[in-house]
Chains A and B, each alone.
Chain A
Amino acid sequence: EPEVTQTPSHQVTQMGQEVILRCVPISNHLYFYWYRQILGQKVEFLVSFYNNEISEKSEIFDDQFSVERPDGSNFTLKIRSTKLEDSAMYFCASSGTLGTTGNTIYFGEGSWLTVV
């Protein structure tokens, strides 16, 4: 079964450093998402991406965050200058296949970011 893959599974970084989290969405999907989950809290939407541009973003997704699809397969989340409160599990997801009405969102297993 096709799946969303994320790397790294766990990253520890120092406060103020830049971090890039990588995702390979399901190959024929057109819509891409990033979510985060702070330990013990609910899963929160960050951003959605379609046709090489951001289609929707939440209040959490401020100027320190950016997303990119650098090639035909990867989807990345960059955090420019990490803060302690950025420590969380980050989930990538994808959905939407051309020519069908199917739009179920499928999630990766997450990248756990620890900022120290």
Chain B
Amino acid sequence: DAKTTQPTSMDCAEGRAANLPCNHSTISGNEYVYWYRQIHSQGPQYIIHGLKNNETNEMASLIITEDRKSSTLILPHATLRDTAVYYCIDRNSGNTPLVFGKGTRLSVIA
């Protein structure tokens, strides 16, 4: 079963920042925080991952608290195409499988 907890759903106005929270209450020292999303039954799409430091790429920013018990994925300017289910996943540094939970369904509203 998934180890993380996320809100079931969130809304965000188009053009505004979407901030998606995740709790990692049982994350261990060698586990990374991964974020994926799934747009309407397409294959899960990798977004970003991090260990301790905040990370940013062309898609999003990832903020990880100092104790690593929570993280926030930030989509800085949400568009309608960002409507999807977003998953946060704890995963160790090896090539272990991802374990998906139910994620957060983000609806971006015009």
Q: Which of B41, B45, B93 has the most CB of A within 10 A?
A: B41
Q: Chain A interface: which size bin?
A: 20 to 34
Task: Find out whether the CB atom of B97 lies under 8 angstroms from the CB atom of A48.
Answer: yes
Q: Which of B11-70 contact A (CB under 8 A)?
A: 34, 38, 41-46, 49
* Chain A neighbourhood of B42, CB < 8 A: 109-110
A13 to B16, CA, bound (A): 45
A50 to B95, CA, bound (A): 10
Distance in angstroms from B57 CB to nearest chain A CB is 11
Chain B 52-92: CB-based contact to A (< 8 A → 1; otherwise 0): 00000000000000000000000000000000000000000
Task: Find out whether the CB atom of B100 lies under 8 angstroms from the CB atom of A104.
Answer: no
Task: Find out whether the CB atom of B43 lies under 8 angstroms from the CB atom of A108.
Answer: yes
A96 to B49, CA, bound (A): 15
Task: Find out whether the CB atom of A42 lies under 8 angstroms from the CB atom of B95.
Answer: no
* Chain A neighbourhood of B94, CB < 8 A: 103
Q: Which residue of A lies closest to B92 (CB)?
A: A103
Whether A45 sits at the interface, judged by CB under 8 Å, is yes
Whether A91 sits at the interface, judged by CB under 8 Å, is yes
Whether A65 sits at the interface, judged by CB under 8 Å, is no
* Chain B neighbourhood of A104, CB < 8 A: 34, 46, 49
A103 to B94, CA, bound (A): 7
Partner of A96, one of B46, B95, B101: B95
A109 to B95, CA, bound (A): 20
Given the interface contacts A89-B41, A91-B43, A110-B43, does A42 sit within 8 Å of B93 by beta carbon? Answer: no
Partner of B44, one of A56, A95, A107: A107
A sample of 12 cross-chain residue pairs with beta-carbon separation below 8 angstroms, ordered by A number, consists of A35-B100, A42-B102, A44-B100, A45-B98, A45-B100, A96-B95, A103-B95, A104-B49, A105-B46, A108-B43, A109-B42, A109-B43
Extra contacts, 11 of them, besides A45-B100, A48-B96 (Cβ < 8 A), are: A31-B95, A42-B102, A43-B44, A56-B96, A95-B95, A104-B34, A104-B49, A105-B98, A107-B43, A109-B43, A110-B41
- Name A's B-contacting residues (CB within 8 A): 4, 30-31, 33, 35, 37, 42-45, 48, 50, 56, 89, 91, 93, 95-96, 101, 103-110
